[in-house]
Structure 1
Amino acid sequence: MATSNDLLIKQRSVIEFLAAEGCSAANIHARMKTVYGEMCISDCAVRKWTAHCRDESAEKGHVYSTLRALQRILTGDESWVYHYDPECKAQSMEYRHKTSPSPRKFKVVASARKVLFTVFWDMEGQTVNSERYISTLRALKLRLRRVRRDKDSILQHDNARPHTSRQTQDALRHLELTTLPHPAYSPDLAPSFYYLFPQLKKYLKGHHNDNDEKVIADVCRWCHGQSSEFFADSVRQLVERWRLCVDRDGDYVEKQSAKSEAVISPWCYGVHRELIGSVMLSMYEMEKSFVVM
């Protein structure tokens, strides 16, 4: 014979099932009363557990919709990369005995030659005048039609003049690209600035590249070498950074851990390798620029 505790567990399971079907608390209690008779839990308890089940279901649905929204975000920006960028102090350290003479170091500066690196990516692994940016957006739209045709993308970029000019806004409407609102002067809310570019620049320090082509190959090799979770983690951090921004009434968030504690399902970690699988080279005003998307 089942114990009272076993019976309670069974009845809670029945409540969860019927609540998932959309039955009201009164209907659930009436049906359970017919089956369990005097052993049926009270109407108050049924109402409590029905509400609990529905709240839990709504929360799961909210999390799912939030994750779906994150998957739609496509972020992008631009940064200069040098033919040679000196190692930082930590990278150039060497082991020496305490009695060894102090090492002689020469001051080294970054090379004058550089290449403009433009990148577009999403949490699945996937900027300069307005004309240049618009031409990049057109190429981006063509790529999205091929590799992301099943998703309604949301473009996340900062408020630099080339991104907010009237020409760019007209182009965005014409290309039917939805943009995510971004507060002015907020690199703390731009994944490329707080996550991607610092990691890339750290990797490039100390690398000697003799020409533009070698710089481009070096950057692309690094991009292709990153894991799927590398890109997903940047967008997870964005959620917590948004929250910090709201909590601080819009104040800038700097040098503070903004890593989200949220658990992201494994399906969020897949990487559209095609988005970072092609490099387009263009010449702009005698400056070489390349795009990775």
Structure 2
Amino acid sequence: MIDKYSMAKFLGCWATEDESWVFFDPHLTKTGNKAWLAPDQKCPRLVQPQLTNRKALIILAFIGDRKFSVALSRPKGTINAKVYIDFIQSTGERWRKLHTNPIKLCELWWQHANARPHTARATMEYLKRRDMMLIKQSPYSPDLNQCDR
């Protein structure tokens, strides 16, 4: 059995990261999105699947004790290994410079999904150089990633 101190210490070093698309459309309002549907009808799709100037990718990483880091891609942007490594570096610098309870990248247990930028050779080499402990996530198991909760 794990005591509370050990669990708090573990959760204070367990960083989870995930990405999600954010849509910006100033013309749509909550009232404008309402629709009456018959029982056999599906909801109309309001978001276009292609990249547009109104769509950006947000990257979020956080630790259980209220530390977080957020980055937003430029419009029509996406994430590759370089962008992902830059995000990890800026997150590490931000968390290392905190006045209360700073933490270094080498002290983290970093969890991310199996997306290509996460598993790229450059990313894996960077994590190894920084001595970061990687928590591997099984494919198709979002319930293990705290960002998905």
- Matched residues, percent identical? 29
In the aligned structure 1, how far is the partner of 2:109 from the partner of 2:83? 20
- Structure 2 counterpart of 1:245: none
CA distance in 1, matches of 2:91, 2:60: 10
How far the C-alpha of 1:83 sits from its partner, in A, is 0.6
Equivalent position to 2:17, from 48, 51, 76:
76
- Aligned 8 A contact 1:129 1:162 in 2: yes
Residue 156 of structure 1 contacts residue 182 of structure 1 at CA under 8 Å; is this kept in 2? yes
State the Cα deviation string for residues 98-157 of structure 1 (Å, max 9, x = none): xxxxxxxxx672364201111111112229211111111111121121125356221111
Q: TM-score, normalised by structure 2?
A: 0.67
Q: Does residue 149 in structure 1 map to residue 102 in structure 2?
A: yes
C-alpha distance in 2 between matches for 1:157 and 1:65 = 23
Q: Match for residue 120 of structure 2?
A: 165
Q: Deviations over 1:16-41 (max 9, x none)?
A: xxxxxxxxxxxxxxxxxxxxxxxxxx
- Higher RCO (CA < 8 A, seq sep 6+): 2
Displacement, 1:93? 8.0
Q: Are the equivalent residues in 1 in contact too, given 2:11–2:65 (CA < 8 A)?
A: no
Per the normalisation by structure 1, the TM-score is 0.36
Q: Deviations over 1:43-92 (max 9, x none)?
A: xxxxxxxxxxxxxxxx5x6343123212211111111100137759xx84
Q: Distance in 1 between matches of 2:94 and 2:85?
A: 14
Q: Distance in 1 between matches of 2:47 and 2:89?
A: 33
The change in CA–CA distance for 1:186 and 1:120 in structure 2 (over 3 A counts) is: same
Q: Which amino acid aligns with 2:118?
A: H
1:133 is matched with which residue?
84
Match of 1:38 in 2: none
Letter in 2 for 1:142: E
| 1:189 counterpart (134, 144, 147) | 144
- Give the secondary structure class of the aligned counterpart of 1:138: helix
Distance (Å, rounded) in 1 between the aligned partners of 2:35 and 2:45 = 15
* 1:157–1:182 Cα contact (<8 Å) kept: yes
| Equivalent-residue separation in structure 2 for 1:160 and 1:108 (angstroms) | 25
Match of 1:110 among 35, 47, 52: 47
Is the Cα–Cα contact under 8 Å of residues 18 and 147 in structure 2 kept in the other structure? yes
RMSD, matched Cα: 2.9
Q: CA contact under 8 A between 2:112 and 2:137: conserved in structure 1? A: yes
Letter in 2 for 1:171: Y
**Match status 1:64 vs 2:5:** yes
Distance 1:159 1:83 in 2: 27
Task: Pick one of 53, 60, 63 that aligns with 1:122.
Answer: 63
- Tell me, yes or no, if the aligned pair for 1:86 and 1:110 is still in contact at 8 Å: no
- Contact persistence 1:128–1:162 (CA under 8 A): yes
| Contact in 2 for aligned 1:75/1:155 (Cα 8 Å) | yes
Distance in structure 1 (CA, Å) of the matches to 2:134 and 2:144: 14
- Which residue does the alignment assign to 2:72? none
Matched AA of 2:8: L
